[in-house]
A and B are shown apart, each in its own frame.
Chain A
Amino acid sequence: MSTKAPDYRTIINDGLWTRNVVLAQLLALCPLMAVTATATNGLGMGIATTFVLVASGFSVSLWRGFITPEIRIPVFVLIIASQVTLVEMGMNAWLHELYKVLGLFIPLIVTNCAILGRAEAFASRNDVIPSMVDGFFMGFGFTAVLVVIGGIREVLGSGALFSNASLLLGEQFSFLETVVFGGDYKGFLLLILPPGGFIVLGFLIALKNVIDAARVKRASQRAGDSVPAAISKRVT
């Protein structure tokens, strides 16, 4: 299909920053609000989603020659749904405690628009290897945002960080479980509730916009005060 060589630098950059699933595309906000009350849950959700993104990138790209445009959406959903089911069963078997925490949100990865979006926008138009790389770094960018938001909400909301990390990563990682504010810290419940997710997300998007604006400014200064280069657009 596409004949030009894949530009891995751009793919990585897009996934981690420029077209970050959450901060730039504003996709996948439902799982974001629901599971980021703690950093560990965010990490678990992010890893599961990344796995599905890589697997669906692989399959969609592999079969893209056989899928006609008219039926592509149901076929993509079918592919993604079967892979999510595998992930769900795997988590139920090997990470049962985390599975109980994330619960309903694992099957709901199927409806995560970020995955269908990457199948549609990238994997159905590119070769297998670039599609898997794209899936991995999109997932990595998503996971990073989930962990950051989860961490902020957890620290401010309940005064701890990475609680229950051993459920996800095994006993040897229980050193991650830290209590930031001990003693009589009451916990700022608002941040644990969904509004907290929106508030923290809003600040992160604002931060990204500020950084991007500063980069544009610096780049235009380096270019001798010519027309400012449009490195990135504001999201909102």
Chain B
Amino acid sequence: MNRAKIISAPFMHSIDSVPRTMLLVMLALAPATAFSLYQFGWPAIILFFIIIGSSLLFEALSLLLARKPVTPFLLDGSAVLTGWLVAMALPPWAPWWIGVLGGFIAIVFGKHIYGGLGQNIFNPAMVARIALLISFPLEMTFFMQPQPLFAEQSPNFSQALDIIFMGGIDIDALTSASILTQIKILHFDGQSIGGANGLVSDLPTAMLGVLPGGMGEASALLLVLGGVFLLAVRIISWHTPFAMFASMALIASIAHFFNPAYHPGMLTHLFSGGFVLGAFFIATDYVTQPVSNTGRLIFGAGVGALTFFIRAYSIFPEGVGFAILLMNAMTPFIDHYIKPRIFGRSKSGEPLTGQLPQGGGK
């Protein structure tokens, strides 16, 4: 005799799942990544796959060590996405060991030390970037002018292998300071920043600017498009990126107004460095940002403000990574103090009684 199987509520179905989320984020990142890989040629492509491969390898090893099921976690896309974001945060022609170490730090120190996916306090990709930046400042600030694939100066595949694995690179011929680095150098020299190359004052230039920099800095426009796509499919909410852009735009405009010789304009701040990538793809990490919308506004505003102050007054030219990690550390506090009203209770937690609308019924 057949018996009905008893299943308990809820009976809702959701299409949201970890693999779907990861896939959509990768889809949103793909155009900007493809453009960057094209801009920086074969060495960037090789490094990109080295980082993703090492992320998968360390993910598998960590899962084995923690005695967790390897295949489902490995295939949910989270390790690939983490590696991908690490690649976007590194200089495109970094040596292979920087890439492998980046994957190792992100997956092992950024994620599995805390207990794996969903347990980490800090964004793994940013942990890797900052640990590498502090440890290897020379390699991590080696930026070059874009060398589009198949262009004359662009290295072919075997030269690219030489660059990534053997360090065969003529640094002086290709190196080029990113706009933020140029500004920092002028700051150190006590000069006006007016002479920095690539300062932008109008929006189209800022968005399309093909600037020397990291992988994730080459194409602000495509990153914004990817971010809008993520907003449209509701993978991210608008609160964190909006608050980041708004606070940075506000503070940078005020600073630029009062001291244009020291502070670049708001557009340079918004569309140089890793700000756009951080706003849409890294600060919006589900695990490390606050859960409430108000909390996310505070979080984003904090990241924007900290980025400005680190860029303007610290020894580091770029501050998005530090700002995101610092605000990640604040997330538990924000979540503690910003709590949404519980259904059926007042703001202070008292049960709502005797306040039902009168009349009607009878």
Q: Which of A182-234 contact B (CB under 8 A)?
A: 186-191, 193, 195, 199, 202
Interchain nearest-CB distance for B102 vs A (Å): 12
Interchain nearest-CB distance for B104 vs A (Å): 11
Contact pick for B134, options A186, A193, A202, CB 8 Å: A193
Interchain nearest-CB distance for B65 vs A (Å): 11
For the complex, is B2 an interface residue (Cβ under 8 Å from A)?
A: no
Query: CA A190 – CA B135 in complex, angstroms?
Result: 5
Query: CA A172 – CA B137 in complex, angstroms?
Result: 37
- Please state if B135 and A188 are interface contacts (CB–CB under 8 Å): yes
For the complex, is B49 an interface residue (Cβ under 8 Å from A)?
A: no
For the complex, is B174 an interface residue (Cβ under 8 Å from A)?
A: no
- Please state if A189 and B135 are interface contacts (CB–CB under 8 Å): yes
Taking CB atoms, residues of chain B closer than 8 Å to A195 are 131
- Please state if B134 and A189 are interface contacts (CB–CB under 8 Å): yes
Taking CB atoms, residues of chain A closer than 8 Å to B113 are 202
Interchain nearest-CB distance for A170 vs B (Å): 34
Q: Which of B111-159 contact A (CB under 8 A)?
A: 113, 131, 134-139
Of the candidates A186, A191, A193, A202, the one having the most CB atoms from chain B within 10 angstroms of its own CB is A186
Q: Number of A-B pairs whose CB atoms are under 8 Å?
A: 18
For the complex, is B229 an interface residue (Cβ under 8 Å from A)?
A: no
Query: CA A42 – CA B130 in complex, angstroms?
Result: 27
For the complex, is B109 an interface residue (Cβ under 8 Å from A)?
A: yes
Taking CB atoms, residues of chain B closer than 8 Å to A193 are 134
Query: CA A169 – CA B21 in complex, angstroms?
Result: 59
Taking CB atoms, residues of chain A closer than 8 Å to B109 are 199
CB-CB nearest in chain A for B95: A186
Taking CB atoms, residues of chain B closer than 8 Å to A187 are 135
Query: CA A189 – CA B101 in complex, angstroms?
Result: 13
Interchain nearest-CB distance for A11 vs B (Å): 35
Query: CA A202 – CA B131 in complex, angstroms?
Result: 17
Taking CB atoms, residues of chain B closer than 8 Å to A202 are 113
Query: CA A191 – CA B131 in complex, angstroms?
Result: 10
Chain A contact surface mostly: helix
CB-CB nearest in chain A for B136: A186
CB-CB nearest in chain A for B97: A186
Taking CB atoms, residues of chain A closer than 8 Å to B136 are 186, 188-189
Taking CB atoms, residues of chain B closer than 8 Å to A188 are 135-136
Taking CB atoms, residues of chain A closer than 8 Å to B131 are 190, 195
Taking CB atoms, residues of chain B closer than 8 Å to A191 are 135
Query: CA A190 – CA B140 in complex, angstroms?
Result: 14
CB-CB nearest in chain B for A191: B135
Query: CA A202 – CA B113 in complex, angstroms?
Result: 10
Query: CA A107 – CA B113 in complex, angstroms?
Result: 36
Taking CB atoms, residues of chain A closer than 8 Å to B137 are 189
Taking CB atoms, residues of chain B closer than 8 Å to A199 are 109
CB-CB nearest in chain A for B98: A186
Of the candidates B109, B135, B137, the one having the most CB atoms from chain A within 10 angstroms of its own CB is B135
Q: Which of B47-61 contact A (CB under 8 A)?
A: none
Q: Which of A80-137 contact B (CB under 8 A)?
A: none
CB-CB nearest in chain B for A202: B113
CB-CB nearest in chain B for A196: B135
Query: CA A103 – CA B150 in complex, angstroms?
Result: 58
Interchain nearest-CB distance for A209 vs B (Å): 14
Query: CA A23 – CA B360 in complex, angstroms?
Result: 69
Query: CA A186 – CA B137 in complex, angstroms?
Result: 11
Query: CA A188 – CA B138 in complex, angstroms?
Result: 12
Interchain nearest-CB distance for B254 vs A (Å): 34
Query: CA A187 – CA B138 in complex, angstroms?
Result: 12
Q: Which of B203-249 contact A (CB under 8 A)?
A: none
Taking CB atoms, residues of chain A closer than 8 Å to B139 are 186
CB-CB nearest in chain A for B167: A184
Query: CA A209 – CA B109 in complex, angstroms?
Result: 19
Interchain nearest-CB distance for A177 vs B (Å): 24
Taking CB atoms, residues of chain A closer than 8 Å to B135 are 187-191
Query: CA A143 – CA B94 in complex, angstroms?
Result: 39
Query: CA A193 – CA B130 in complex, angstroms?
Result: 13
Interchain nearest-CB distance for A202 vs B (Å): 8
Query: CA A28 – CA B113 in complex, angstroms?
Result: 24
Taking CB atoms, residues of chain A closer than 8 Å to B138 are 186
Taking CB atoms, residues of chain B closer than 8 Å to A189 are 134-137
Query: CA A141 – CA B174 in complex, angstroms?
Result: 53
CB-CB nearest in chain A for B132: A190
Interchain nearest-CB distance for B25 vs A (Å): 28
Interchain nearest-CB distance for A157 vs B (Å): 9
CB-CB nearest in chain B for A203: B113
Interchain nearest-CB distance for B329 vs A (Å): 13
Query: CA A50 – CA B138 in complex, angstroms?
Result: 41
Query: CA A160 – CA B137 in complex, angstroms?
Result: 20
Interchain nearest-CB distance for B110 vs A (Å): 12
CB-CB nearest in chain A for B138: A186
Query: CA A193 – CA B136 in complex, angstroms?
Result: 13
Query: CA A191 – CA B139 in complex, angstroms?
Result: 17
Query: CA A222 – CA B152 in complex, angstroms?
Result: 73
Query: CA A189 – CA B139 in complex, angstroms?
Result: 13
Taking CB atoms, residues of chain A closer than 8 Å to B134 are 189-190, 193
Known A188-B136, A190-B131, A191-B135; 10 more pairs at CB < 8 Å? A186-B138, A187-B135, A188-B135, A189-B135, A189-B136, A189-B137, A190-B134, A190-B135, A199-B109, A202-B113
List the 5 shortest-distance A-B pairs measured between CB atoms, nearest first.
A189-B135, A190-B135, A188-B135, A190-B131, A190-B134
A-B contact pairs, 9 of them (CB 8 A): A186-B136, A187-B135, A188-B135, A188-B136, A189-B134, A189-B137, A191-B135, A199-B109, A202-B113
